[in-house]
Amino acid sequence: MVLYGLAESVLKRTYELLTNAGSVTPDDVCRAVSRPLGDRETKAVLGRLYAEGYIGAERDLVTGDSAPAPAVINATEKGLARLRPRPPFPRQTGLD
């Protein structure tokens, strides 16, 4: 899945919250991305991120008009790997 726009922002903010809190809910993420509590679009993005393995579920999933999303979110290796800084491409020296 290619992440861009709201999905990329939601993923980054979710992991920022996870580093500072023991548990994170969809409403916490809504606040962090300046969306209203219970925002359907944000919850849909969380559902997609969960389905793709970028975030995990600590407890039951919440269903609604969008894909099931975690009621309490936790980190996954895939999500952590996505947000790790990537080394820059090696510079070409012309000596190769």
**One digit per residue, pLDDT tens: the chain, 96 residues?**
556 688 989 999 999 999 988 789 999 999 999 999 989 899 999 999 999 999 998 877 776 666 678 899 999 999 999 888 766 666 666 555
CATH class of 5-83: mainly alpha
Predicted model pTM: 0.79
pLDDT at 52: 92
Backbone φ and ψ of 19, nearest 5°:
-75, -20
- Give the start-to-end residue ranges of the domains of the chain: 5-83
Amino acid symbol at 19: T
